[in-house]
Structure 1
Amino acid sequence: MPFCRFAFFGFLSVLLSLTTFAQTTSPTFLKLNPRQACWVDSVFTNMKPEDRIAQLIMVAGYSNRKPGYEDSLITLVRTNKLGGVVMFQGGPVRQARLTNRLQASSPVPLLIAMDAEWGIAMRLDSTVRYPYQMTLGAMQGAGSDSLIYQMGANLAKQARRLGMHVNFAPSVDVNNNPNNPVINFRSFGENKYEVARKALAYMRGMQDNQLLTSLKHFPGHGDTGTDSHYDLPLIAKSRAQLDSLELYPFQQLIKAGAAGVMIAHLSIPALDTTRNRPSTLSPAIVTNLLKNELGFQGLVFSDAMNMKGVTKYFPSGKADELGIEAGMDVLEFTEDVPAALAQIKQAIVDGRISQASIDARCLKVLKAKAWVGLDQYKPIEMENLVSDLNPVQDELLNRKFTESSLTVLKNDKGLLPLQRLDTLRIASVAVESDKITAFQQMASNYTQVDHFNLTSRTPDSTLAMIRDSLKNYNLILVDVHLNNIRPAVKYGLQAKTAGLVGELVATGKAIVTVFGNVYALDKLTFPMDTVQPSRNIEQARAIIMPYQLTNYTEELSAQLIFGAIGASGKLPVTVNQRFRLGDGLPVKSIGRLKYTIPEEVGINGKFLAQQVDSLVNVGISQGAFPGCVVQMAKDGKVIFRKAYGKHTYDASLGAEPLPVQLDDLYDMASVTKVSTSTPALMHLVDDGKFNLNGKMADYLPGFKKSNKADLLWRDVLTHQARLKAWIPFWMDTKNPDGTWKPKTFKAERSGRYPIEVTDSLYEFKNYPKTIFEQIKDSPLNAKKEYVYSDLSFILYPQIVKRLTGIDFEDYLKTTFYKPLGATTLTFLPRRYYSLSRIVPTEYDSLFRKTLIWGRVHDEGAAMLNGLSGHAGLFGNANDLMKVYEMYRQKGSYGGQQFISAKTIAEFTRYQFPELGNRRGLGFDKPSFTYTGNAPKSATKASYGHSGYTGTFVWVEPDPAYKLTYIFLCNRVYPTRNNPKLGNLNTRTNIVEALYQATKRGLQ
């Protein structure tokens, strides 16, 4: 490479600057390599003096304007040889195309800048939106700094992908004025140390990834009630006050090597006594304070030169010239470029500005351009642009931000997280939302929650009905949705809305979550002498502040309430005397299911989804089942939930088949065994009421004189007690001619025939006793070996009733399902749910002669009034997973120990491996040689069960995996004579994909 004059002198100037300002780290962009330095030297040398002025000007660019706009913008930039463009509203693809056109037309590559404080989504659609800085200010601890650094790094990569080089961020204003109309939520808070620390992490994340930054709004815009977009704010503080607060974050980040600083339009008499002179135009502030006193060597940017804070007293053109005269390096959003250039040229002629100072600033801009790679400019690649700008890692980062910032301001008697769900009758009331919210949807994942929605426009008659309905609940989740974050409109809080919140709080049953600006709390906290104290938000039983209204804040706030996550956030500002800086109560998780994305547990979500989608779609396309629901969890975190296909294959039910929904109820078939009988027995073992080594007659006195009296329960539960596989009970009710035998079935209900089998088939009231007698009298197999049998599970409801005095279904619901929040798990679902939510099973052409829909598929269970220990349970995938997650957590869930860890371990281990029997107690386990009954990668610790209708559950407790899996389908529709599900091995292949995804990680 030939010797480059500028390379030497550039190095010397940097060295001298470091000597002059030894306490300050020189911005990285000033430290160029020889190639970059030569490019700067070459470009600068070939510039005319007026072209060097133009490098100091950035104009506004939009990618959402009418036809013709882009051509005029390109002409403006090309004709005047401007240095850069500040991008505003539009879309990423449109902006990329515009940027490529602008760059192609410019003789010197342009610096492309943007205000992207909370991500590119601040300006463009279809891009990542990060939390406001105020939200991030609520995060605590060193871990928050690493998250904010990652945000800066990720944003830098997105910006560079979009051809951008400067982000006018972070805001380092200390917001100590609650009524600040322009900074407010854009600040990290009112603690200068926290503001400096978090802003530093953000700045470093961006600059370490080759994005220029600009601290703003110098010398501090946090303590004003005026918006500089519309007027010139006055900061009436002494120099000592400014030094002690507003200037502190700037000082710290300048010392750390800040690339840029943006000057605000402020009138600050303590720094410049000239009347109505904005700081942007003040040599005392820009040159004397920022450059000389603080030693700042980077790029000095103006705030937008079209704002009233500067144009109110100085016209366009003259303001630009005065900005350069004050010491500005780059003028942002110059409105009248020809006038600005003319005024600056005249100032040079008049001697108010030297050409040497223009040259020095131009060189600084060119260095910045070289540092960001414009010395080797390449157009933006359009392929995969939008997907590249929306990496899944940012969704995970947003979730972490939200979870870390959630702030609990009140938690009366430790109400949060909610426990003993079986004692709660919960309503949710979404205030200022006329449709079901993401918060409400997430709350429904945990238990039965009834939803109400009201707004300031809700008619009084509807409000009256809601008031009356709410009397039936002992807990009300109030989610307040504020769609505006600015104080000028009271943060979107209507007077009527505030009154409604106060009314709900006055019930003494409310947990209030305010989705909006933290300062909105003040509008819900009324003076005690003017409003009933009971109507103040502080009278709520619990108060949660998520700071924003987003899907992340809504979903994770609900998860916090139900104990899936904890809370550690602290208020970053003082709202009023009741809610002060640093307030925030810690709340711990109690282990309920968390709903997140695969990346949170180290799994590539795209890979997992592709594998599952492929397997399911093959099954549906080949007619193995019409639809299904797949739900997967790792480490107690639900990472995959998806409904596929339809309830049925065709319109045979009189209408187009319904698409499968996540909350649809399926017939669990034999999964009933390990979801009802098995947990009941485990609980009885813990209570000392059931002995696994006891005999059948010990708990079934009627069996004492039968051939089953001495059968050991351990053998029975492992299917090696010589019991027959099953008995076709219904076949014994028919005469040879096909008519019903006496005291079996009738076509109409009566007192003697009360058991409803179908709409037109009713069973004799005492016939269930006949079934039990048939089991008692049935012959035993000749050899003691593994033969899977339904028979014992038909008997367990009797045992439970005899040992506890409680009916089987009531026992299950009170002991397990209601406390777990598994409220859809039930027998006889037609009692509680519409048929549209229950997936049909089989058309029974032999026994019941009708479509089985909302009634148990198994004939024996149907003859037991739909309630048995071997079949008959219905429910959705999410609620079923709670049972199996409780098993995986060694009997604990939601802060409650349902079954002892010792008993869980005993029931889920191989009992007789030496006999070649793969079973646990009730549970299935992997075969000793792979047969397809379990995933190929399943460890010996895993367990689960399959169901005849197509259901499947699997738990993998091994620490390397910690998986829970649910698969629900109706493969028997319209007929059980369909072996395709088993032939394809869809159920275990899907969970095998989860094993493989876990092994593969985030590759």
Structure 2
Amino acid sequence: MRSNKILLLLAAVLILSTSLKAQESVAKSPEFLKYENSKWVDSVMAKLSPDERIAQLFMIPAFSNKGPDHKKEILKHIKEYKIGGLIFMQGDPKTQLELMNDYQQAAEVPLIGAIDAEWGLGMRLDNTISFPYQMALGAIQGEELIYDMGVEIARQLQRTGLHINFGPVVDVNNNSLNPVINYRSFGEDKLNVTKKGIAYMQGMQSQSLLATAKHFPGHGDTDTDSHYALPQINHPFERLDDLEMYPFKELINAGIGGVMVAHLDIPALDSTGAPSTLSKPIISGILKERLGFKGLIVTDAMNMKGVAEGNEPGEVDKKAILAGNDLLEFSEDIPKAIAEIRNAINEGLITQAEIDSRCRKILAVKQWVGLDNYEPIPVKNVVKDVNNPEAIWLNRKLAEASLTLLKNDNSILPLQKLDTLKIASVSIGASKPTKFQKTLKLYADVHNFQLGRGAKASYITDLKKKLEEYNLVIIGMHDFSIRPRNEIKLSKEIENFISEYAQKNNTVISLFKNPYVINKLQDIEKSDALVVAYQDSEITQELSAQLIFGGIGASGKLPVSVGEKFKAGDGLDLKTNLRFKYTVPEDAGMDSKKLGTAIDSLMHQAIEAKATPGGVVLVARDQKVVFYKAYGLHKYSDTIAVEKTDLYDLASVSKISTALPALMKLYDKGNFDLEAGIDDYLPYFRNSNKADVPFRQILAHQARFKPWIPYWKTTLRNNGSYKWNTFKKDSSARYPVKVSDELWLHRNYKDKIYKAIKKSPLEEEAKYKYSGLLFYLLPGIVERITGEDFVEYINENFYDKLGSTTVTYNPSEKFDLDRIVPTESDFNFRHEVIHGNVHDEGAIMMGGVSANAGLFANANDLAKLMQMYLNMGEYGGVRYIDDSTLKEFTKTQFPENDNHRGLAFDKPYLEYKGEDSNTAKNASADSFGHTGFTGTMVWMDPQEDLLYVFLSNRVQPTRENTRLYKLNTRTQIQQALYDAIQ
């Protein structure tokens, strides 16, 4: 029986050996090998003593956050022993590069520089980019982005003086309890791991940066961390060959330059119990001979307990060299290691020729990466260079592509019918509003709550009572460590809270944690929607919120199985472009440097010139918000900084934001006729000089109407005091209209405004002349047509559905004053700083509700309405206005009369007039928008799918401040948008 087993084993080994030899024949040699016998390598070898050639096989750790003593120690190893290279650890890119330049200057043979940058420089260095962890990358469909990441990581490493990345990790993580690989692996599917690993490797090596596949022969199926002990993997040879070693074989065949060997005890490969790092059967027998790998073999850190336990420094290094390794990292005693290896040569355990061969291999790598022509790398702008816009955009693309939608019952995502939803969000593990919650609020009026890990039962009970008021709850589960480990540190009460709400209707959960924790949370899989973001970062939080509201879609697939709840490969595709995507300019074909620099400069210029105390600029292209920034203060005398969420008085931008969308909607239904006159909807005007004047002419400002009427002046006596029958200091049934806290207008004064408009004379000639008179009447016209209250009508039909929760009249009734930017110090009429009420005197005398002025909003909520216009009537999956109607209203109506206007919308002048023009030079003839007296501007250009919102309070301290006009700030910024289009 025993002899039969031996025969079977020998047969299996013979079959495997034959298979592996076949693989060896297709293995692609690493590119650097062509330099093994180059003139440069020969010249360096001639200068090195036998011991110095040994020293080239060592790489020691270098830190850029340690002091001069550490630097002296490194320099000693470089000068005295001529070590081969350095592996950089913690620090920052600028200091690291300065040190590397110094170290290279001290070295007779250029040093190879390496780093563990599995997810980029951010794995080790401050002020650098961290790309998603490999588990998140494993969720991405396709490999193009992974290749691009490899290219970018190579550029960043080279910019900081480095030549080798100890990555990618190609361990197949098929053990959810793995404490050391886990989220660092592409997942449990060997084919997915292989494809992603090859793409990552090819991206790096296309830039002549050496990639290193790790941790051979496969560290995925263990629950022991080799940093602290020696893991044992007890699988038969066939299983190891078919699964654990599969990615390594394929990467070798694809031409990877380096392989890192793990510290593992694998009896099926080496029955002696020796760590794989010290195993000649594994390294020389399998990796070199059977797999045919000719590239650089690197040890995992030689100070890790998995290899160091029971082995003395120097002695362990000798064993690693005898096993077949080329390059040893983290050796703890270089002189002793050199001595031990010299003794091994003397004892005949290894030859000097073998050492020389490995030394040549390392020198060949140095030549391949360009060290044969080494020059110091400039330090200036290194931090800026490694945080370049393309890398920032790539990072967002990777995170976005990884998002995985595991549940979406009844297609609850993306959220629709916002006007029917009362939404609460709960960030678990947070003590203050998270980026996730702040991004949710960009889309709708989401009420935010936080549930910290230490929350008491009474707090949870109180929170549950508050949540009863909402018909949709969004839960964000945040991580509690920098890296997404497979652990839960929540109280039982919080776990019960998650379980309870996961089973309720209309619950959406976004998991910013390791997906393995799903198996540790009861009932989480029962939520209506479950989004997995893999890790907790500002980018994943931001993008998850955008996914929930349809700013982006989802295509990720789970790279690992989660118990019986979800299997690897699970994930729903969600294609959507419903609402704004908040992103970077490059995502919309714009140059972020040009855009940001120009806008910042022009806004700072305006603030320094006191053209406005502050402002907000929002830019969107292709329905992607690519710039959204606040500047300055509320008032010159304030210390209150402008926030992006602050509300501004829109002034005449109200003209296209209030009654106009209502008129267009009514036009669609046939309830409003552009050829009708005011008298057709307001009989009061039948016997006036304005009867029968078509709305088309009025809206195009070609109806001979007077520009404006100073209604407020009729309320004053000659001495400047108020007429007794017009205002009172206190409100009453007869004086209900609030103009200020101590100024209440008579209820019938609105009729006087109508009368003044009715009796106002007409201009002599029917040509373009801007007039706001009609817009005082439009709310009444809308009410007569619809039979509904004007404000309720536009709220219900537009703002509520759009999620434009700050677009409002009389904002002080809804918002705190510190969120509302003040306008003018009024010394003529109200004798106070106008704050929380409309600046326009006529509008305030209409109770703050007018289509001429009166509307307030923040830039983001106003932009939703404008994007709907730019989309020709559609936004968020809702059709508000027919596209033919938008095209009619936004086209130039009477160009033959030298009138550039649309219907209420402003248009570019028929001929560009330089600085006197109302738009940027590059604004197309199809573009449209409006400006406002308080210093506002919105503009849309269908040719470039470009949206521009500019909010300011230039009427500070008074309306006499016209510097914003003189500087031409608004149109100069608008031109900067076109200049930034690539």
TM-score range, shorter chain: over 0.9
Check whether the contact 2:23–2:291 (CA below 8 A) recurs between aligned residues. no
The amino acid that maps onto 1:566 is G
2:735 corresponding residue in structure 1: 753
Which amino acid counterpart does residue 413 of structure 2 have in structure 1?
Answer: L
What residue in structure 1 maps to residue 14 of structure 2? none
What CA distance in whole angstroms lies between the structure 2 residues aligned with 1:995 and 1:588? 29
Name the structure 2 match of 1:664: 646
After superposition, residues 717-728 of structure 1 pair within 5 angstroms as 717-728=699-710
**Which residue of structure 2 lines up, in the alignment, with residue 769 of structure 1?**
751
Q: What's 1:732 paired with?
A: 714
Matches within 5 A, 1:856-895: 856-895=838-877
Shift of 1:186: 0.7
| Cα deviation 1:249-305 (Å, max 9, x = unaligned) | 11111011110111111111111111x211111111101111111110001111111
Residue identity over aligned pairs, in percent, reads: 50
The alpha-carbon deviation at position 374 of structure 1 amounts to: 1.5
Residue of structure 1 equivalent to 2:584: 597
Partner of 2:427: 430
Which one of 796, 805, 808 corresponds to residue 787 of structure 2? 805
1:399 to partner: Cα distance: 0.4
Tell me which residue corresponds to 2:938.
953
Give 3-state SS (helix, strand or coil) of 2:225's partner.
coil
- How far is 1:498 from its partner? 2.7
Aligned to 2:28: 25
Task: Give the CA deviation at 1:48.
Answer: 1.7
Aligned with 1:826 (options 796, 808, 814) = 808
Cα deviations by residue, 1:789-822 (Å, 9 ceiling, x for unpaired): 1111111111111111211111111110011111
AA of the residue aligned to 1:768: K
Q: Deviations over 1:24-54 (max 9, x none)?
A: 1110111239xx8111001112222222111
The yes-or-no answer on 1:934 pairing with 2:919 is yes
**Aligned pair 1:291/2:288, yes or no?**
yes
User: What is residue 7 of structure 2 aligned with on the other side?
Assistant: none
Decide which of 640, 660, 678 is 1:696's aligned counterpart.
678
Q: Tell whether the 8 Å contact from 1:431 to 1:501 is kept in structure 2 after alignment.
A: no
Corresponding residue of 2:107: 106
Contact 1:426 1:473 in 2 (8 A): yes
Per the alignment, residue 69 of structure 1 pairs with: 70
Question: So what's the TM-score if we normalise by structure 2?
Answer: 0.95
SS at match of 2:511: strand
- Are positions 1:252 and 2:250 aligned together? yes
Q: State the shift of 1:65 in Å.
A: 2.4
Structure 2 CA distance, aligned partners of 1:807 and 1:869? 14
List aligned pairs for 1:629-640, cutoff 5 A.
629-640=616-627
C-alpha displacement at 1:234, in angstroms?
Answer: 1.1
Aligned to 1:992: 975
State the 1:604 CA deviation.
1.4
For residues 280 and 58 of structure 1, the distance between their equivalents in structure 2, rounded to whole angstroms, comes to 16
**Is structure 2 residue 237 aligned with structure 1 residue 212?**
no
SS of 2:917's equivalent in the other structure is coil
2:815 is matched by which residue type in structure 1? Answer: Y
Q: Which deviates the most, 554-563 or 587-596?
A: 587-596
| Match status 1:573 vs 2:570 | no
Contact 1:455 1:497 in 2 (8 A): no
- For the 8 Å contact 1:212–1:260, the answer to whether it is kept is yes
| Counterparts of 1:309 and 1:477, CA distance in 2 | 44
Q: Is the 8 A contact 2:648 2:856 kept in 1?
A: yes
Matches within 5 A, 1:414-453: 414-453=411-450
Q: How does 1:76-155 map to 2 (within 5 A)?
A: 76-141=77-142, 145-155=143-153
- Aligned partner of 2:4 in structure 1 is none
Instruction: Find the aligned partners of 2:494 and 2:117 in 1 and give their Cα distance.
Output: 32
Offset at 1:992? 1.2
**Change over 3 Å in CA distance of 1:110–1:736 after alignment to 2:** closer
- Give the drift of 1:489: 6.8
In structure 1, C-alpha distance between the alignment counterparts of 2:483 and 2:582, rounded to whole Å: 31
Structure 2 residue identity aligned to 1:268: I
- Partner Cα distance (1:432, 1:488) in 2: 15
Residue pair 1:485, 1:491 contacting (<8 A) in 2 also = no
Q: 1:767 to 1:390 in 2, by over 3 A?
A: same
What is the match of residue 481 of structure 1?
478
- Could you tell me how far 1:20 is from its partner in structure 2? 11
Alignment of 1:450-461 (within 5 A): 450-461=447-458
Partner of 2:158: 160
Structure 1 residue aligned with 2:351: 354
Specify the SS of the correspondent of 1:987: helix
Determine if contact 2:484/2:536 at 8 Å carries over to the other structure.
no
Moved more, 498-507 or 88-97: 498-507
| Shift in alpha-carbon separation, 1:455–1:192, aligned structure 2, 3 A | same
Q: Is the counterpart of residue 264 in structure 1 residue 262 in structure 2?
A: yes
Give the C-alpha shift of residue 190 in structure 1. Answer: 0.9
The 8 Å contact of residues 183 and 484 in structure 2, kept in 1 or not, is answered as no
The aligned counterpart of 2:544 is 557
Q: Which residue of 2 aligns with 1:530?
A: none
Deviations 1:428-460 (A, max 9, x none): 111101111111111111111111112121234
Alignment partner of 2:536: what SS?
coil
Query: Is the Cα contact below 8 Å between 2:484 and 2:535 reproduced in 1?
Result: no
AA aligned opposite 1:937:
N
Select 1:978's aligned residue among 952, 955, 961.
Answer: 961
Question: Amino acid of the residue matched to residue 389 of structure 2?
Answer: V
Change (3 A) 1:486 1:635: closer
Q: Read off the aligned partner of 2:28 and give its amino acid letter.
A: T
Match of 2:600 in 1: 613
Matched, 1:499 2:496: yes
1:302 has 2:302 as partner: no
What whole-Å deviation, never above 9, does each CA across 1:489-539 have from its counterpart, x for those lacking one? Answer: 715555454333224324433211111111111111x3xxxxxxxxx1112
- Cα 1:409/1:211, change in 2 over 3 Å: same
User: What is the letter of the counterpart of residue 255 of structure 1?
Assistant: N
What secondary structure sits across from 2:487 in the alignment? helix
Offset at 1:140?
A: 0.6
Farther-moved stretch of structure 1 (85-94 vs 389-398)? 85-94
* Residue deviations 1:163-185 (CA, integer Å, cap 9, x gap): 11111111111111111111101
CA distance in 1, matches of 2:23, 2:566: 46
Cα displacement string for residues 218-267 of structure 1 (whole angstroms, at most 9, x for unaligned residues): 11111111111111111111111112111111111101111011111111
On the 8 A contact 1:630/1:967 being kept in 2, the answer is yes
Counterpart of 1:14 in structure 2 is none
Q: Is the 2:230–2:306 contact (alpha carbons within 8 Å) kept by the matching residues of 1?
A: yes
Match of 2:338 in 1: 341
Q: Deviations over 1:193-240 (max 9, x none)?
A: 111111101001111111111111111111111111111111111111
Secondary structure in 1 matching 2:501? helix
Query: 1:618 is aligned with what amino acid?
Result: Q
Residue of structure 1 equivalent to 2:11: none
Q: CA deviation at 1:87?
A: 1.4
Distance of 2:833 and 2:167 partners within structure 1: 64
Question: Which moves more between the two structures, 347-356 or 60-69?
Answer: 60-69
Displacement of 1:591 in angstroms is 2.8
Distance change >3 Å, CA 268–CA 794, structure 1 → 2: same
Q: Normalising by the residue count of structure 1, what TM-score does the alignment of the two structures yield? A: 0.93
| Residue among 837, 841, 845 paired with 2:819 | 837
Q: Secondary structure at the match of 1:31?
A: helix
RMSD (Å) for aligned C-alpha atoms:
1.7
In 2, the alpha carbon distance for the partners of 1:336 and 1:616 equals 59
Q: Distance in 2 between the 1:929 and 1:954 partners? A: 18
- Pairwise CA distance, 1:883: 0.7
Name the CA distance, whole Å, in 1 between partners of 2:91 and 2:236: 42
How far apart are the structure 2 equivalents of 1:98 and 1:731?
74
Of the structure 1 ranges 606-615 and 402-411, higher mean CA displacement relative to structure 2 is found in 606-615
1:451-486 residue CA offsets vs partner (Å, 9 max, x unmatched): 111212123443333222211111111111112377
Q: Is the 8 A contact 2:872 2:883 kept in 1?
A: yes
Q: CA deviation at 1:610?
A: 1.7
The alignment status of 1:199 with 2:197, answered yes or no, reads: yes
Q: Tell me, which stretches of 5 or more residues in structure 2 are unaligned?
A: 1-20
